[in-house]
């Protein structure tokens, strides 16, 4: 049973590694009247490079938090603060090798996300601040892969460079839609659905694609995903849209009954046998939010979906003249039809064998 739960959790993780907040604490905190901190300034020109990482120079951080983050790297779209403890934890060579892997893709990926949201965000986007925190010192690191904090206006990366490659573009979309955009996404369904849609469906996401999913998931999970119809042999990994449909279908059929998960409203939730559809949109898991977004875009148009990203979860159904239950029921039926058409089905048997 323990292992069954691990596999189930693994599937949830498949679509929610980028979950961005711990239980009871909104990941993307509400903006306050306090001035929004400006992006970290580029290092001074005279700063000496301490080493070269790919095309980029690591320099001494002479700005704020230099005791915790003694080094930094500046790219076109990002300012990286590198934690002293992470260098000690991983060892310099391993740390910088992981940094080099991600830096080779970061600007192209961030440029893609900006392009995908063109017209909805300003033309000029300042570099985003990114801090490493692989040591697990932050409490939030226990329940999330990465985190965009709108008050401090920075992204924190947790656990490992692998996790960073998986999560960073999703968090960057939060920065774009929550900090940079004039009309901001609202915490919950819209914030997460837009981040998933842009980072995993619209963008190539080179950082994430450079991972080896077969290695990351392991042979048992890969075999299960093949059997469920979500593994893409060309990609060498799970197809994101199919995974979202599959996970949504699994919730509807009760495979996740009583399994606790972090929902898009940034709290832990679980479904019950007598209530498998959530009561409102903020109780959806990340994969379900992506599936619902696809349904809304297919049914009502992409612009209608994106033009209303400032709506809270409980106002979305109203936009389409429906109650939340009517909307969730219609989407769930559509999701089941898609799975039927594409031959997608998560099986109890396949999970419980492990």
Choice between 61 and 177, CB closer to Zn ion: 177
DSSP string, 253-293: TTTTBT--EE-TTSSEE-BBTTB-S-SSGGGS-HHHHHHHH
DSSP string, 6-50: HHHHHHHHHHHTT----TTS-SSPPP-SSPPPPPPPPPPTTPPEE
Using CA atoms, how far apart are residues 46 and 224, in angstroms rounded to an integer? 54
| Number of neighbours of residue 93 by Cβ within 10 angstroms | 8
Min separation Cβ 353 and Zn ion, Å? 32
Min separation Cβ 264 and Zn ion, Å? 8
Q: Which stretch binds Zn ion (CB under 5 A): 18-26, 39-47, 85-93, 122-130?
A: 18-26
Q: Provide the token pair at 252.
A: 């509807």
Q: Which stretch binds Zn ion (CB under 5 A): 154-162, 194-202, 287-295, 316-324?
A: 194-202
Q: Which stretch binds Zn ion (CB under 5 A): 158-166, 184-192, 199-207, 342-350?
A: 184-192
Choice between 77 and 200, CB closer to Zn ion: 200
Site size toward Zn ion (CB under 5 A) is: 3
Q: Which residues contact 242 (CB under 8 A, 6 or more apart)?
A: 229, 230, 232, 342, 344
Backbone angles phi, psi at 130, to 5 degrees: -125, 125
Choice between 257 and 310, CB closer to Zn ion: 310
Q: Which residues contact 123 (CB under 8 A, 6 or more apart)?
A: none
Min separation Cβ 174 and Zn ion, Å? 6
Choice between 20 and 186, CB closer to Zn ion: 20
**Nearest residue to Zn ion, by Cβ distance, number only:** 20
Element (H, E) at 341: helix 324-342
Choice between 58 and 165, CB closer to Zn ion: 165
Q: Which stretch binds Zn ion (CB under 5 A): 99-107, 193-201, 207-215, 245-253?
A: 193-201
Choice between 20 and 198, CB closer to Zn ion: 20
Min separation Cβ 200 and Zn ion, Å? 11
Q: Does residue number 20 form part of the binding site for Zn ion (CB under 5 A)?
A: yes
| Number of neighbours of residue 308 by Cβ within 10 angstroms | 17
Q: Provide the token pair at 87.
A: 């260098």
> Which residues are near Zn ion by CB under 5 A?
20, 192, 195
């Amino acid at each position: 049973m323990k292992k069954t739960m691990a596999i189930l959790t693994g599937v949830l993780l498949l679509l929610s590694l980028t979950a961005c907040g711990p239980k009871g604490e909104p990941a993307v905190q509400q903006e306050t009247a306090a001035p929004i901190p400006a992006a970290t300034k580029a290092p001074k020109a005279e700063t000496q490079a301490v080493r070269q990482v790919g095309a980029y120079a690591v320099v001494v951080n002479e700005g704020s938090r230099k005791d915790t983050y003694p080094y930094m790297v500046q790219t076109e779209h990002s300012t990286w603060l590198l934690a002293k403890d992470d260098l000690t934890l991983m060892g310099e060579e391993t740390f910088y090798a992981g940094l080099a892997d991600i830096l080779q893709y970061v600007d192209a990926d961030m440029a893609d996300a900006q392009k995908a949201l063109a017209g909805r965000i300003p033309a000029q986007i300042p570099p985003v601040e990114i801090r490493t925190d692989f040591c697990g010192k932050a409490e939030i690191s226990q329940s999330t892969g990465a985190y965009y904090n709108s008050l401090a206006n920075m992204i924190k990366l947790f656990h490992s460079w692998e996790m960073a490659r998986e999560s960073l573009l999703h968090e960057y979309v939060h920065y774009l839609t929550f900090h940079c955009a004039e009309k901001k996404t609202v915490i919950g369904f819209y914030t997460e659905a837009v981040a998933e849609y842009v980072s995993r469906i619209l963008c190539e996401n080179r950082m994430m694609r450079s991972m080896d999913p077969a290695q990351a998931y392991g042979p048992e999970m890969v075999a299960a995903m093949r059997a469920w119809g979500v593994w893409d042999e060309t990609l060498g990994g799970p197809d994101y849209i199919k995974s979202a449909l599959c996970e949504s279908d699994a919730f509807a059929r009760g495979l996740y009954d009583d399994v606790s998960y972090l929902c898009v409203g940034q709290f832990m939730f679980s479904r019950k046998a007598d209530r498998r559809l959530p009561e409102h949109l903020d109780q959806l898991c990340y994969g379900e939010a992506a599936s619902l977004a696809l349904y809304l875009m297919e049914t009502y148009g992409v612009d209608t979906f994106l033009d209303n990203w400032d709506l809270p979860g409980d106002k979305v159904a109203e936009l389409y003249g429906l109650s939340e239950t009517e909307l969730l029921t219609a989407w769930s039926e559509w999701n089941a039809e898609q799975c039927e058409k594409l031959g997608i089905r998560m099986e109890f048997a396949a999970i419980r064998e492990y």
